Structure 1
Amino acid sequence: MNIAHLQNFVRIVEAGSLSRAADIIGIVQPALSRQVRSLECEFGVELLTRHGAGVSPTPAGEALAAAIRRLLGDLQSAREIVHAIEHEPAGLVTVGAPSSLAEAFFPPLFARLRTRHPRIRLRLLDELSNPLLQRTMRGEIDIAILHRDRSLERLKGVDFLEEPLGLVGEPGALGALESVSPGALQELPILAPTAPNRSRIAVESMIGSLESQLVAEVECLPALLSILARGEGFAILSYSAAARAIARGELGFRPIEGPAIVRRMVLVRAGENRPTAAAAAVERELRGLAVDMASEMRWTPSIATDASGGR
């Protein structure tokens, strides 16, 4: 079985079109079609469904694509393990983070790795939490920063950091208050992500439903921060989610009085295998950044434990 043909099959599934995949790979479409037919003969099942918009994987094709991704990851790991015996960590590492943490972590992570581990190539993904979890479970992401909860039991997760949530809004709208009470929150126009969202669940478990004062549900963090900077509402966010806008004076942050509303984040690795040298190096740098930026971002870095709370 030809490894290149397996790689090309994954590219077809991701592109959703034989012609687009052929352009990406750099071969003619008939040759790519022959590769698919060869795989279908090899496995004895139909792998793709053809339709007007392109192609879609059959259930068997979806399962094969997932298996190929794992296989290719294992092959890459083998190459890196062999290479690392005599050389520094090298290879591709895919890191995923929710939008609220991506801006804080990704630029300094890139800078550190360029200096300390120039042979590591990063692929950085900014995703909503649920798609990020699903992609990690499929083996598409090597290291993900995720909310700590029971859905991580199938993955290798270690505690990473905690951060309090507070009220974010235009400084003039926030006024001179140093903090805000849960009762005062009930009177404010609130923008929030669509439920179910783990941060929203954490907020509503502490102060009650936001439905009565919800003026918009916004999934795009840059758009949300832009709306808030125009003084058109408030949001309950972590400090790090708005840190850059706060530093520019466009937004302000006020702690919420009473028991802290905290979100707990974990570092999750895909698969059961030992991480590659490159992935382990990236994880160390992420932990170092969490410590180094803790004061600036109001984080509490965690001592590593598994995602269910064990050491």
Structure 2
Amino acid sequence: MDVRQLRYFSKVVESGSFSKAANQLHVAQPALSQHVRHMEEELGVTLLYRGAQGVKTTEAGDRLLHHAKRILAEFAEIADSVRGRALAPSGEVRFGLPGTVGELLAAPLIEAAKARYPDVRIRVVEAMSGYVLEWLKRGEVDLAMLYATSNPKGLAVHHGLSEEICLFAGSLTGDAPPFLQNATVDLAQAARLPLVVPGPGHGLRELIEQAALSVRVPIQPAIEIDSYSQIKKLVARGLGYGILPRMAVQSEADAGVFRIWCFARPEITRRVYLAYSTERPLATAPRAIGQLSWDILRQLVRDRAWTAELSDESHRPNLYN
């Protein structure tokens, strides 16, 4: 078995057809079929089912495909790895960011990349973290910042920071109940307030619901809206109490517009990860931008532009050195 056979096998599975794979590879179909048959004979297992609906992998074929993708990705990286810095990064890098991360990271990242890697063009695409994750898995973006990695299969994820989720209110909100006289609040107490939070399916809402489940408290918001800016506007007008990351409301709190309470039981925090696929080769430009984004992310915390706690250095990626 060799790299060429692995590439042929992967292409057959990807296209779902020997004839389509043969056209894409510019290989005669009988020769392609023979390569796969030799692999099956060598391994002593059936790798593919051939039927009216096309070609499907067997259980053994699934296992081989997993190894083939990893091996082909590593093989594709050899040239760039050997050349190292002798090959200046160039080309487009597609970077998926949740909106709140993009607000803080996008501009300094693009500015730094323009100065350090002038031949690289960054295309930032923003959406909720769940959508960004799906883009990354489908190969529609090269890199991503994510809030959740419940299914990290096929991905490399590096924990960059953890940010606090807090309760906040505006000066126009009515008389605060006695339990809000302290700097901290229990989620069970906060759940009795008229809450303004994102709707079901939003990553932050899911985090709040998980925390509520841990203390057996139902969350019944007064207002549900996915936009952070609209949540802040509604809270500033006195229509309820919001729950958002501290970094989203810290500047208003510093200006005296909002008052913030930390959650004590339980504490609610959200992690931010740098992520990229391990099933596709990561070229020089995405490697360089991924490493740069990591450094800028952490510098934002050190400069107090982002209110968060940094992970330890063991999580640091080694993408471009």
Report the TM-score when normalising by structure 2: 0.62
The 8 Å contact of residues 161 and 300 in structure 1, kept in 2 or not, is answered as yes
Query: In the superposition, relative to structure 1, how do residues 292 and 183 fare at CA in structure 2: closer, same or farther (>3 Å)?
Result: same
Matched, 1:287 2:294: yes
Deviation at 1:203, TM superposition (A): 2.1
Deviation at 1:90, TM superposition (A): 1.9
The 8 Å contact of residues 158 and 304 in structure 1, kept in 2 or not, is answered as no
Distance in 1 separating the partners of 2:217 and 2:207: 12
Residue 230 (structure 1) aligns with: 237
Matched, 1:194 2:199: yes
The 8 Å contact of residues 161 and 299 in structure 1, kept in 2 or not, is answered as yes
What does 1:70-149 correspond to in 2, within 5 Å? 81=80, 86-149=86-149
Residue 151 (structure 1) aligns with: 151
State how many pairs are aligned: 236
Matched, 1:205 2:210: yes
The 8 Å contact of residues 130 and 203 in structure 2, kept in 1 or not, is answered as no
Deviation at 1:93, TM superposition (A): 1.1
Deviation at 1:227, TM superposition (A): 2.1
Query: In the superposition, relative to structure 1, how do residues 246 and 102 fare at CA in structure 2: closer, same or farther (>3 Å)?
Result: farther
Deviations along 1:55-100, one digit per CA (max 9) or x if unpaired, are xxxxx9xxxxxxxxxxxxx9xx99x959976453222111112122
Deviation at 1:181, TM superposition (A): 2.8
**Structure 1 portions without partners, runs of 5+:** 1-38, 44-59, 61-73, 307-311
Query: In the superposition, relative to structure 1, how do residues 256 and 212 fare at CA in structure 2: closer, same or farther (>3 Å)?
Result: closer
Query: In the superposition, relative to structure 1, how do residues 98 and 171 fare at CA in structure 2: closer, same or farther (>3 Å)?
Result: farther
The 8 Å contact of residues 128 and 202 in structure 2, kept in 1 or not, is answered as no
Q: Secondary structure at the match of 1:152?
A: coil
Query: In the superposition, relative to structure 1, how do residues 282 and 260 fare at CA in structure 2: closer, same or farther (>3 Å)?
Result: same
The 8 Å contact of residues 95 and 143 in structure 1, kept in 2 or not, is answered as yes
1:181 to 166, 186, 200: 186
Deviation at 1:107, TM superposition (A): 1.9
Residue 5 (structure 2) aligns with: none
Distance in 1 separating the partners of 2:100 and 2:217: 20
Query: In the superposition, relative to structure 1, how do residues 168 and 88 fare at CA in structure 2: closer, same or farther (>3 Å)?
Result: farther
Deviations along 1:131-185, one digit per CA (max 9) or x if unpaired, are 1111111101111111233322232222222112111332554787523232430
Residue 298 (structure 1) aligns with: 307
1:264 to 265, 268, 271: 271
Worse-superposed segment, 241-250 or 217-226 = 241-250
Deviation at 1:251, TM superposition (A): 3.5
Task: Give the counterpart letter for 1:300 in structure 2.
Answer: E
Task: Give the counterpart letter for 2:296 in structure 1.
Answer: L
Deviation at 1:283, TM superposition (A): 1.7
Worse-superposed segment, 297-306 or 256-265 = 297-306
The 8 Å contact of residues 154 and 277 in structure 2, kept in 1 or not, is answered as no
The 8 Å contact of residues 172 and 236 in structure 2, kept in 1 or not, is answered as no
Distance in 1 separating the partners of 2:121 and 2:102: 17
Deviation at 1:223, TM superposition (A): 2.3
Distance in 1 separating the partners of 2:222 and 2:154: 37
Q: Secondary structure at the match of 2:293?
A: helix
Task: Give the counterpart letter for 1:106 in structure 2.
Answer: A
Among all aligned residue pairs of Structure 1 and Structure 2, give the percentage whose two residues are the same amino acid: 21
Distance in 2 separating the partners of 1:252 and 1:261: 17
Between structure 1 and structure 2, the one with the greater Rg is 2
The 8 Å contact of residues 154 and 279 in structure 2, kept in 1 or not, is answered as no
Distance in 1 separating the partners of 2:88 and 2:106: 22
